[in-house]
Amino acid sequence: MISARSDERYDRVVDPFLLSPWHIAFLAVVVLLLFGPKRLPEMGRSLGKGLREFKQAITGEDEAPGLPTTSRQTAPRKQQRDTID
């Protein structure tokens, strides 16, 4: 026999990915204490760059129009000759 009490736990559905403002504030404090204020902007830049590169790889776009290219052109390498003395 199923009691009415056992069904009460299914009345409230909790989303496991639901974050309240307190959760976000706590995570921000923990991240700030772990990495420090000097390292956070560097991490943000690298994360943004990685996401941009991932998006470009998925969509197949080379570069956004109107932005200067950042690719470096390398000078041709000199070929070495094998000499026997």
Can you tell me the distance from the alpha carbon of 13 to that of 63, in angstroms, rounded to the nearest whole number? Answer: 44
Predicted TM-score (pTM) of the model is 0.43
pLDDT band at residue 53 under the 50/70/90 scheme: very high
For residue 5, pLDDT over 70 is answered with no
User: Which token pair is 85?
Assistant: 């003395």
Does residue 32 contact residue 40 with C-beta atoms inside 8 Å?
A: yes
CA atoms within 13 A on the CB side of 31: 11
% of the chain with per-residue pLDDT over 70: 53
The letter for the amino acid at 4 is A
Mean pLDDT, residues 30-53: 93
